C-alpha cells in the first residue's frame, strides 16, 4: 500500500483538488492522510467531507515539515508519498513511480512536474537534469532539480532511516531531504510529468527572505556533513557564491533592490572570480522593461 500525506495550512482553495487526485490514482490501495497544521479556514471541513476515504488529523501550527513527519508517523503503507495541498497528481503518478522502484535499491523515485498557474493552465515542464553528478549540480545551482515534496515516492524504511524532513526548515525542506538522500543512496527518475505544481500568490518559494534563511541553514548542514565527497567540499566558496547569486536574482525579481545588493556583495566576497559571470547573467536576465537591470545593482 502507498500512504499519501497531504500537509495543509490555510488551503481551502486547493485542498479538494489535491485529495481527489490521490483518490483517483490507478494504483490501489491508497491511503490518504491529511495533516492540518493549525488552519483557521475551511481546510478541516473540506478534508472531513471526504468521509472515510481520508484520514484527517489536526495539530498546532508547527510548519510543513512537522506536518509531513506527523503524517508519516501515522502511515501504514510500505511506501510514502507527499503531496502539497496546492498541487495535483495525474492518475498514473504513483503507479509509474512504484514501477521504477521495483527491483531497485534506490531510496527514492522522482518524476518530472508540470508547472501550472492557479487555474491549472500549463506554464512549463520541469525535468530532472541529473548530469554526471546531481549532488554537485544541486550545490552549484548547475542542474535542474525536481521538488520531492509532491513528486517523490519513498520506501517507508528509507524515509525513517534518513530522519524524515528537517523540522527547522520550511521552504528548503524538500531540497535538504533530496540532498540527504543523495548522500546516502540513489534516486530513480521517471522522465514523465506526472505532477501539476501550482504557482499562485501564496507559494512559500515566493517569500525570498524566508527562503534565504532556510537555504543558508541547509547549505551549512550539507557542507558540515562528513559524507560529502572531498571534491565537492573543495568547491564550498564557489557554491556559496552561486547561492548568493541566486538570492540576488530572486530579490531583484521581487523588487527588493537593497537585499539584491546585499546578496550580490556576499556572492562576490565568497568567490570573487564569479563577478563577470554574475554580471553577465544578470544583464541577460533582467535587462527588460519593467524589471531591474544591472545598472540598478551598481
User: 90-102, pLDDT tens digit by residue?
Assistant: 999 999 999 999 9
Which of 172, 166, 157, 152 lies closest to 108, judged by CA? 152
Interatomic CA distance for residues 100 and 98, integer angstroms = 5
Q: What is the pLDDT of residue 284?
A: 63
User: 71-87, pLDDT tens digit by residue?
Assistant: 999 999 999 999 999 99
More confident residue, 207 or 15: 15
Q: What is the pLDDT of residue 274?
A: 79
User: Does residue 212 carry a pLDDT above 50?
Assistant: yes
**201 CA to centre of own chain:** 17
Interatomic CA distance for residues 225 and 100, integer angstroms = 29
Mean per-residue pLDDT, 62-78: 97
More confident residue, 12 or 206: 12
User: Does residue 118 carry a pLDDT above 60?
Assistant: yes
Give the CATH architecture of domain 2-202. Alpha-Beta Complex (3.90)
- Percentage of residues in the chain having pLDDT higher than 90: 76
More confident residue, 143 or 157: 157
User: Does residue 297 carry a pLDDT above 50?
Assistant: no
Lowest mean pLDDT among 118-122, 220-224, 292-296: 292-296
Lowest mean pLDDT among 65-69, 146-150, 205-209, 231-235: 205-209
User: 235-281, pLDDT tens digit by residue?
Assistant: 999 999 999 999 998 999 889 999 999 998 999 999 988 766 666 66
Cβ 116 vs Cβ 195: under 8 Å: no
Phi, psi for residue 73 in degrees, rounded to 5: -70, -25
Domain borders along the chain are: 2-202, 205-297
User: 104-113, pLDDT tens digit by residue?
Assistant: 999 999 999 9
Q: What is the pLDDT of residue 115?
A: 95
pTM given for the model: 0.88
Instruction: Dig out the grid coordinates for 226 from the structure.
Output: 562528513
Helices within 102-235 (DSSP H only):
134-139, 156-161, 173-184, 208-223, 230-233
User: Does residue 131 carry a pLDDT above 70?
Assistant: no
The kind and range of the H/E element at 5 are strand 2-8
Mean per-residue pLDDT, 209-217: 94
Q: What's the mean pLDDT when you consider all of the chain?
A: 90
Amino acid at each position: 500500500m502507498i500512504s499519501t500525506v497531504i500537509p495543509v495550512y490555510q488551503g481551502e482553495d486547493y485542498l479538494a483538488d489535491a485529495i481527489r487526485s490521490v483518490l483517483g490514482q490507478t494504483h490501489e490501495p491508497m491511503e490518504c492522510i491529511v495533516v492540518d497544521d493549525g488552519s483557521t479556514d475551511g481546510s478541516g471541513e473540506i478534508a472531513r467531507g471526504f468521509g472515510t476515504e481520508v484520514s484527517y488529523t489536526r495539530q498546532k501550527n508547527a510548519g510543513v515539515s512537522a506536518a509531513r513527519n506527523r503524517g508519516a508517523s501515522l502511515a501504514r503503507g510500505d511506501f510514502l508519498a507527499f503531496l502539497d495541498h496546492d498541487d495535483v497528481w495525474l492518475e498514473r503518478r504513483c503507479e509509474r513511480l512504484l514501477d521504477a522502484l521495483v527491483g531497485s535499491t534506490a531510496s527514492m523515485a522522482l518524476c518530472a512536474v508540470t508547472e501550472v498557474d492557479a487555474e491549472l493552465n500549463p506554464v512549463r515542464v520541469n525535468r530532472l537534469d541529473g548530469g554526471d553528478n546531481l549532488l554537485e549540480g544541486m550545490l552549484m545551482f548547475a542542474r535542474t532539480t525536481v521538488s520531492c515534496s509532491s513528486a517523490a515516492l519513498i520506501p517507508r524504511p528509507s524515509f525513517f532511516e534518513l530522519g524524515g524532513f528537517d523540522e527547522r526548515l520550511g521552504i528548503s525542506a524538500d531540497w535538504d531531504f533530496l540532498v540527504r538522500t543523495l548522500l546516502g543512496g540513489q534516486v530513480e527518475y521517471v522522465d514523465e510529468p506526472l505532477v501539476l505544481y501550482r504557482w499562485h500568490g501564496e507559494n512559500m518559494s515566493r517569500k525570498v527572505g524566508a527562503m534565504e534563511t532556510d537555504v543558508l541553514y541547509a547549505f551549512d548542514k550539507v557542507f558540515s556533513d562528513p559524507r560529502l565527497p572531498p571534491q565537492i567540499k573543495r568547491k564550498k566558496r564557489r557554491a556559496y557564491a552561486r547561492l548568493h547569486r541566486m538570492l540576488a536574482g530572486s530579490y531583484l525579481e521581487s523588487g527588493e533592490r537593497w537585499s539584491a545588493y546585499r546578496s550580490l556583495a556576499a556572492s562576490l566576497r565568497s568567490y570573487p572570480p564569479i563577478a563577470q559571470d554574475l554580471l553577465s547573467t544578470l544583464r541577460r536576465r533582467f535587462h527588460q522593461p519593467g524589471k531591474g537591470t544591472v545598472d540598478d545593482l551598481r
